[in-house]
Amino acid sequence: MATSSFLASFYFINGALIFFLGIMILKYSSRDIVGWATALVLFFAGIGPILGAIGVILEQNLQEGTYLFENLMDNFNYTWEFFFPSLVLFALVYPKRRAVWKYIRAYTFILFIPHIFHLILVLVLLERVVPENTFNFLINANLPSAAVQSFVTKLAQFMNVLMEFLFKAHKTFFSLVNISYAAFSVVLLANSFKLDISPRVRRQLRVVIFGLGLCTVIYALGRTVPFFIEIKFEQAIITAFINAALIVGGGSIAIAIVRYQFLDIRLIVRKGIFYGTTVAVLASIYVLTIKQITEFFYRFSGTRFEFIETGLIILFLIIFQPVLSRVEEWVEKILVREEKSIRVRIRDLSSELLSVVELDDMRKKTNSTLGEVFSTREVETVFCDEIFALKDEDPYALEVIKIMIRYGEPITRLDFMEGMGFLNLRARTFLRPGRKMIREAVETMPGIVRRFARYELIVPVLHEGRCVAVLLLGEKEDASRYSTEEQALLAMLASQIAASLTRIDLLEQVVEKKVMEEELNIARTIQLNLLPSKPPELDGYEAAGMSVSSKQVGGDYYDFIKSNGHMAFAVADVSGKGVPASLLMASLQASLRSMMDRMEDPVSVVGRLNDVMCDLTSSDKFATMFYGCVNFKKHEIHYSNAGHFFPVVLRADGEVEELDYSGLILGVSPGFPYEGRKTGLAPGDSIVITTDGVTEAENNKGELYGEERLHPFLATIRDYSAERIKDAIVEEVNRFSYPRGANDDLTIVVIKRKE
């Protein structure tokens, strides 16, 4: 009696825990097919032992003539046997979905067809039809011919025998279908080791495969082996084999969950255990209170008041939810208190990292906190930029980064060494190397591999598929290993570090941008000081000039230099934009100013500037320039052009004349023979020099302003003053390019002889 009670309790406790674990997985992982498959396996693995426990209890109190509960496990095998097709479904999607999954996902019901047929056979036929009498209706038929009646009778007898054989064969050999399902699942899972999976998942697989393999063997021993070797087991022994198989199979998944963070629900399961305990306590209260109250009324009244029991149940359900909520709050506090030395401190560290703005501060804070939390003297935070910097001198640097990205989660040094190809753990399934052996192996490894392998745990910090940092944690002072839960907390911290690094990077970019903007403002001020502050005052002439950069600083340049009855002027356009162009422009301006002793000789000035440019710059840096010198006595302009946009002379009579000579651009070929040209200026004539920012201005249609628009427009404004001509050109370009605006530096110089 005591043995039966113990066996029933053992069956029920294990079955209930496995079944409850399936509920928890379904509750928190129901959106994932892996969660669904795992939950189904655990549901059916739990139902079997629960039925076995109920069967043992009923067997002790079975009344004569009762048939349904005589062998509960066998009579209801159509329920728990769905464990086997669920196992195949689980193997198809864990640890990764098989390639064939996308083709069969809509037809997974096929896996359950044999068991559905078995269910129908058991429920509809086996309990309602006597196989040897199935076709007796043909024997009892009154047929007109004796020969026909004899044939039909023999056919019916044959069909009855065949039906009886089919029923017995199905009932006896259906277990072979289950064994085939289980074996196929184990083979599929074992084949998963060929996939690219993390070390943690490999450890999960080892546990699950071992458990399911043992489950298959135990089930086969209880179901099929006795039949083939003609050993007669008692039904209780067969039931014990089946229950043991289901408990081992479901228990292996439970171990993977609790020990190796399978489906990442370990903490949830811990809360679930408290939840289950609460339900058990409340159920006990129900038995001890409500049942006793109703029995009290029955004892003294002789009548059962069902409405009292119903009302008490409703009242019990009303208070159940608030009590459960409060218990969950207590559980959360208990868990937090339990984890205060680790969970809370890591959470606090994550919060502190939100306010860190320096990488060195992040490194120091992270290293010191993790060293205290995990009682280790060796903690290092390595940023991946430091690893990349070693790629030329250490061939393993990039491989280390690839391993970090490949695993993407905390790994032990053994897993790291195996991933780098310095250790073969698969050959050591049961014998793991000791710490002394590991340390000796580490000392023989090269460069960065040795640096990483010195640490017990390696935690990659990933952001958008890139490894941005690595946390390295040494051995604990008490020589204990990092638990799976501690690794999960470190993985959460790694996510926060990745977010903080991104924020620090963005902050640095903002600061750099602000500094750059300030430097550009200073450069712009300097550049503006290099340009003429105002046009020179001339007798009989007007001069106007302006330069507008498309960016804060630009590469356009113009200048006026007045001396001894002459005025030199220049307009240049340096290749590129921004700071590089502005620096080259400043150099060009300084060189030009140093040649004023020859200002009346444009060919000499331009030739010398070309040689200077060739000496100071690379071949991809160049400039265009128009240089001219006005002789106020002769009213002539001597000029030379180094690849610049052709200037235009606006004659007082309305003619628009291009000065269409040009030599090679500056900075390409030293010693290039430039030529000089002359043109006269009559009263009312003007010369207009621009950069390509005028002719290459674009409108919304992508059309360029071009010379075909500029020349006619200049003809209409020939009577304007030099200043007004300059302003009119700017207004016309802005009107044409609105709302796009200028996309290049724009410079204009106008010199006009007064009438």
Q: What is the DSSP string of 521-575?
A: HHHHHHHHHHS-SSPPP-SSEEEEEEEE-SSSS-SEEEEEEEETTEEEEEEEEES
**8 A C-beta contact, residue 674 and residue 603:** yes
449-467 tens-digit pLDDT: 898 988 989 999 998 888 9
Tokens, residue 206: 């080892």
pLDDT band for 605, please (50, 70, 90 cuts).
very high
3-state class of 433 per DSSP?
coil
pLDDT for 726 beyond 60 = yes
Percent of the chain with pLDDT over 90: 19
478-520 tens-digit pLDDT: 666 787 778 888 888 888 888 888 888 777 777 777 777 776 6
pLDDT at 339: 44
Q: List 160's β-bridge partners, or say none.
A: none
pLDDT for 259 beyond 80 = no
Residue closest to 236 by CA, chosen among 554, 7, 555: 7
pLDDT at 338: 45
Tokens, residue 410: 């905390």
**What's the mean pLDDT in 735-744?**
78
**What's the mean pLDDT in 568-592?**
82
**What's the mean pLDDT in 244-256?**
84
Tokens, residue 32: 């994932």
pLDDT at 94: 85
pLDDT band for 556, please (50, 70, 90 cuts).
confident
- Output 169 or 393, whichever has higher pLDDT: 393
* Rg from Cα positions in the chain: 46
pLDDT at 729: 93
Mean pLDDT score across all residues of the chain? 79
Which single residue is written with the structure tokens 């029995």?
295
The CA-atom distances, in angstroms, between 721 and each of 114, 302, 755 are: 101, 123, 11
Burial of 624 (0-12, 13-18, 19+ CB in 10 A): buried
pLDDT at 68: 45
Residue closest to 500 by CA, chosen among 374, 351, 722: 351
**What's the mean pLDDT in 60-65?**
52
pLDDT for 684 beyond 80 = yes
pLDDT for 612 beyond 50 = yes
Tokens, residue 41: 């396996």
pLDDT for 252 beyond 60 = yes
3-state class of 406 per DSSP?
helix
Give Cα 509 distance to the centre of its chain: 23
pLDDT for 18 beyond 70 = yes
Query: What is the distance between the alpha carbons of residues 553 and 528, in angstroms, rounded to a whole number?
Result: 9
**From 75-89, 244-258, 297-311, 390-404, the region with the lowest mean pLDDT:** 297-311
pLDDT for 15 beyond 60 = yes
Residues ≥6 apart with Cβ < 8 Å to 600:
566, 568, 629, 631, 638
> Which of 384-393, 458-467, 624-633 holds the top average pLDDT?
624-633
> Which of 4-18, 278-292, 625-639 holds the top average pLDDT?
625-639
pLDDT at 371: 86
**From 175-179, 319-323, 358-362, the region with the lowest mean pLDDT:** 319-323
pLDDT for 66 beyond 60 = no
Tokens, residue 60: 């002790």
pLDDT band for 589, please (50, 70, 90 cuts).
confident
**8 A C-beta contact, residue 605 and residue 599:** yes
**From 48-62, 524-538, 660-674, the region with the lowest mean pLDDT:** 48-62
- Output 553 or 347, whichever has higher pLDDT: 347
**What's the mean pLDDT in 596-625?**
88
Residue closest to 254 by CA, chosen among 269, 232, 236, 271: 269
pLDDT for 628 beyond 50 = yes
Q: How would you label 408-427 residue by residue, b for 16+ Cβ within 10 Å and e otherwise?
A: ebbbbbbbbbbbbebbeeee
**What's the mean pLDDT in 419-437?**
66
pLDDT for 433 beyond 60 = yes
Residue closest to 247 by CA, chosen among 9, 14, 8: 14
pLDDT for 4 beyond 50 = yes
Residue closest to 242 by CA, chosen among 87, 427, 52: 52
**What's the mean pLDDT in 123-149?**
59
**What's the mean pLDDT in 282-288?**
59
390-414 tens-digit pLDDT: 888 888 889 999 989 888 888 888 8
Query: What is the distance between the alpha carbons of residues 489 and 497, in angstroms, rounded to a whole number?
Result: 12
Tokens, residue 149: 């009646």
328-366 tens-digit pLDDT: 566 555 554 444 557 778 888 888 887 777 888 888 988
Query: What is the distance between the alpha carbons of residues 47 and 243, in angstroms, rounded to a whole number?
Result: 10
- Output 226 or 90, whichever has higher pLDDT: 90
pLDDT band for 712, please (50, 70, 90 cuts).
very high
**What's the mean pLDDT in 519-532?**
72
